[in-house]
Chains A and B, each alone.
Chain A
Amino acid sequence: MAIVLSNISKRFGEQLVVNQVSLEVEDGELFVLLGSSGSGKSTVLRIIAGLIAPESGRVKLQGKDVTDLPPQLRGIGFVFQNYAIFRHMTVAENVEFGLKIRKVSRAERRRRREFLLELVGLGGLGGRMPNQLSGGQRQRVALARALAYEPAVLLLDEPFGALDLKIRCQLRRSLKEIQRQIGVTTILVTHDQEEAFELGDRVAVLERGRLLESGSPQELYYKPHTEFVAAFLGGGNVMVGRSDKGRIRLGAAVLPFPPGAPVHEEGAPVRILFRPETVKHQPEPFAASTDVVTIGQGRVTLKTFTGPVEKLRFELETLQGVRPAAPALAYGQRFANIEATQESRSNGGSNDAALGDLRWIGLSNFHVLDPSALKFLAVFDRAQPGLSAVQMAKLLGLASHGTTTLLKSLAPDDAVEAVQQELQLLLQNITPHGEPRFETRLRPAQGGREITREVQEGYYDLVIIGRPPQSDQEGVRRVTQLTRRLLIQSGVPVLLASSASSSIRRMLICTAAGEPGKTDVRFGARLARHIHAFTTIFHAAHSKASEEEVKRARHHLEQAREMLSAYDVPNEIKIGQEPVMPSILNEIETGKHDLVILGASGSSSVRSADDLVSRIVTLTDCSVLIVPMVPDVD
């Protein structure tokens, strides 16, 4: 094994950028790390090179543990996105640099340099200065330079990122050829899926510092395990149906579980993936004898010509109540979309779909993703009234088929066994039959820092903290502080569970200040869908708001409503008057809401939401859910 990483973690400040990454790369393999920006892929590469030291975990190259060695002694070639060519040296001098450092004889250097320049397609250009070369040529020099001293491992960090498309494609092909020819073990980092597929023998997908999946491009594309990978790699339709008597119910359609699909409990959400090219569509219903599974009738709402194929988008009314994970439901849209394709023809065949056509849609092939419903963390800590958190976790966990982790932190004087026993008892209390979806976890120390770390490392969808009664001012202050920390440092929604709400029948989504949020409505809809809560969307209007602003807010609320309806959530809209605070409090009072949802975006408005939260918590006894907002793409 040429490269072995085991449990590599790295933090920058409080931010966890690489989370327990382990991977193995075979000799001579071209391995691609694929991820969006900020996924930690470059950090992993730099850790392998020794340019960054990992916080924990080991790096092995060619069977030798190099974790504590400086980059100079690791014998690696590294190619940077910005080339990092030495500008005062000629091309030849650049290529020979590593050999000179190794005191290789002049004749050998010359031989090696000429071989490599020929290999990368720059034969005869050794005398040029870097500023006489184009970007693509410079990157070729960088590649030759990194290969000159025959490194055991070649690492490339977005090597084609700064080049234009055409050059990029040329260089990709050259790289693949050179890598084959030399047989050097290579890891390439990129955010470009096409590049990853074209180059990689194997591809690993990284997201938020975690290695989600790795495999051949075909495996990852057609048979991924996770929703993220399914949606990240190319156009894909991911729909969430339900397991129903051994089959999959998708709105009005019923699909069989394909052979080899992961086991799902009865009633659990089932996420199925189908790629646009496996979607069949025709004007008349599919015959029962074909192996195409009909999912309904849809209208063509978009048709784009891309050359060899035309991309189509269908809107399906029959899929009401199905949560489409990808393509994401556009805000305010009621019906699920399905991406499909058809061959493009110069003058359109008689059976081709045109814009506005109503067609039958079926699947010739689909794939069931691993069951992974919402993941909850209930913080059960001496400082927090934990029981209400556990109750809430039980409520949400059972309704959504999610997994729930009970977290307890050890106080200095706690005996570990006693605490474990306490947790086991608690667990038996909530799940007498020992459901596997509940687990317990101990943290070695008390305090917000430990909880934040657990949230960062465990990838939870929701953190549940028990809230103190409104009279306990010290407790309220502590809880809001912890909430703020969690929101800023982990970006995970936080639910302050009240002991007063033993069930959630009525939910209130507040879209108070400025542009009403979308993330909070989406998250609220997702929860409400599971617990069948009646949802009120509330907007406190500005008293001095212009006609235009009122109209915009109205429009937004209508869209939110459409979305909730699409998720089959019973709902209503209410508009209150300024000032915001009293009107929200009044609504909580009169509406008898069990759960209030607020959105917070960016650290400054986390602070203002914090203020709002602490006031709501001090003035009422209901549960509060704060959703950190991500900038919306659609």
Chain B
Amino acid sequence: MVTRIQTKRALPGFGLSLGFTVLYLSLLVLIPLATIFLKVSTLSFGEFWQIATTPRVLAAYRLSFGASLAAAFINLFFGFLVAWVLVRYRFPCKRMADALIDLPFALPTAVAGISLTTVYSSNGWLGSWLERVGVKVAYTPLGICLALVFIGLPFVVRTMQPVLEELEPELEEAAACMGAGRGQIFFRVLLPGLWPSLLTGFSLAFARGLGEYGSIVFIAGNLPFSTEIVPLLIMTKLDQFDYKGATALALVMLLASFTLMLLINSLSHLAGKKSHRAEV
């Protein structure tokens, strides 16, 4: 037997590893998604358009995308702050705080939804206080947003942490010696280098928000036209054995989220490119 030895890599050859990649993507992503297209193709375009654009569905689109976007923005800000604190400071129970960040990953989403509802409903601990100042959280879009913030936080924190760790404190010190104030240091020196990962964290949190179902159904109240999200609508259609309707909505979500993710990722890529400009 003859073995040809080329450059040694940790994993065996390009052919084999690409083969696995394609197989995995096919089995787990492409084939299941293709069935959506197949199912939808049994509809005529008129039928499809009608199902996908009823006022109730349009309201659900708005809510799903709106709430996910809002939550992702909130997470962008607070997630950055949390990551900064975790990287830059030492304080008691830091490891504990660090571990807590991952909890939304591990917790069954239903549990998160139920506990958030309990705490923020009009007779809950925090909800009753907020009610007095006129803020209703549970069973409103605000509640949905809250659940999505909870779910999305670790995505931003975990993408920012390694990047912030690489940011030497000397950068700030150098800028300070050159006369830059705090604001200038942050916006001119630190932030430009952080954009790509901020965008990645944002898009992850946003994507997770779009697909989230478990934690929202409890806190949303699920009123058509006001607190009904698209995943729930799809579930409702399935419950009524309206498979075609369900897949039509699924397809819209699929295309819309894919387009948005592609957009954000290329933005992030562009921001990354800028800092490696003219690299050959």
Contact = CB atoms under 8 A, between A and B. Distances in A.
Contact of B193 (A72, A88, A101): A88
A71 interface: yes
B177 A76 contact: yes
A77 interface: yes
B170 A70 contact: no
B277 A51 contact: no
B174 A80 contact: yes
Closest 6 CB pairs of A and B: A98-B178, A84-B170, A88-B275, A78-B177, A84-B174, A88-B192
B74 interface: no
B278 interface: yes
Interface in B149-198: 168, 170-171, 173-181, 184, 188-189, 192-193
Nearest to B177: A78
Given A72-B176, A97-B188, 5 more contacts: A71-B177, A72-B181, A75-B179, A82-B170, A149-B178
Interface string A97-117: 110011000000000000000
Contact of B180 (A51, A72, A90): A72
Contacts of A70: 176
B184 A101 contact: yes
A80 B171 CA distance: 9
A283 B173 CA distance: 61
B274 interface: yes
Interface in B221-280: 274-279
Interface of B: 168, 170-171, 173-181, 184, 188-189, 192-193, 274-279
A100 to B, nearest CB: 8
Contacts of B275: 87-88, 129
27 contacts: A51-B177, A70-B176, A71-B177, A72-B176, A72-B179, A74-B177, A76-B177, A78-B174, A78-B177, A80-B173, A84-B170, A84-B173, A84-B174, A86-B189, A86-B193, A88-B274, A97-B175, A98-B179, A128-B278, A129-B279, A131-B279, A132-B278, A142-B174, A145-B174, A145-B178, A148-B178, A149-B178
A84 B171 contact: yes
Contacts of A142: 174
A89 B179 CA distance: 17
A146 interface: yes
Which of B171, B174, B189: most chain A Cβ within 10 A? Answer: B174
A49 interface: yes
Contacts of A80: 170, 173-174
Contacts of A71: 173, 176-177
Nearest to A52: B173
A236 B134 CA distance: 82
A82 B168 contact: yes
A89 B279 CA distance: 13
Given A84-B171, A129-B275, A131-B279, A51 B178 contact: no
Q: Summarize A's interface: helix, strand, loop or mixed.
A: loop
B274 A132 contact: no
Interface string A478-509: 00000000000000000000000000000000
Contacts of B192: 88-89
A149 B179 CA distance: 10
Contacts of B174: 78, 80, 84, 142, 145
Contacts of B171: 84, 86
Interface in A48-88: 49, 51, 70-78, 80, 82, 84, 86-88
Nearest to A80: B170
B193 A87 contact: yes
A145 B43 CA distance: 65
Contacts of B176: 51, 70-72
Contact-residue bracket for chain A: 20 to 34
A80 B174 CA distance: 8
Nearest to B180: A101
A409 to B, nearest CB: 33
Interface in A354-382: none
B173 A51 contact: yes
A87 B277 CA distance: 10
A101 B279 contact: no
Contacts of B177: 49, 51, 71-72, 74, 76-78, 146
Contact of A129 (B173, B175, B184, B277): B277
B255 to A, nearest CB: 34
A49 B176 CA distance: 10
Nearest to B175: A97
A129 B278 contact: yes
B91 to A, nearest CB: 16
A78 B189 contact: no
A101 B179 contact: yes
B269 to A, nearest CB: 15
Nearest to A157: B170
Quick one: which of B168, B175, B274 has the most chain A CB within 10 A?
B175
A1 to B, nearest CB: 21
A74 B188 CA distance: 21
A623 B168 CA distance: 51
A98 B180 CA distance: 7
Contacts of A51: 173, 176-177
Contacts of B170: 80, 82, 84
Contacts of A73: 179
A77 B171 CA distance: 13
A33 B162 CA distance: 35
Nearest to A70: B176
Contacts of A145: 174, 178
A474 B174 CA distance: 54
Contacts of A101: 178-180, 184
Nearest to A142: B174
Contacts of A132: 278-279
B173 to A, nearest CB: 5
Of A49, A88, A97, the most chain B CB neighbours within 10 A belong to: A88
Nearest to A51: B173
A178 to B, nearest CB: 18
Interface string A537-577: 00000000000000000000000000000000000000000
A89 B181 CA distance: 18
A90 B279 CA distance: 12
Nearest to B169: A84
Interface in A111-147: 127-129, 131-132, 142, 145-146
A131 B274 CA distance: 12
Contacts of A78: 173-174, 177
Nearest to B271: A88
Given A51-B173, A78-B173, A101-B179, A84 B168 contact: yes
Contacts of A89: 192
A101 B181 CA distance: 9
Contacts of A128: 278
A102 B173 contact: no
B73 to A, nearest CB: 23
Nearest to A76: B177
A87 B170 CA distance: 13
Contacts of B180: 72, 97, 101
A23 to B, nearest CB: 20
B28 to A, nearest CB: 36
A149 B171 CA distance: 18
A102 B279 contact: no
Contacts of B181: 72
Contacts of A74: 177
A501 to B, nearest CB: 47
B276 A97 contact: no
Interface string A267-282: 0000000000000000
A146 B175 CA distance: 10
Contacts of B276: 129, 131
A102 B179 contact: yes
A90 B171 CA distance: 15
A152 to B, nearest CB: 12
Contacts of B184: 101
A470 to B, nearest CB: 41
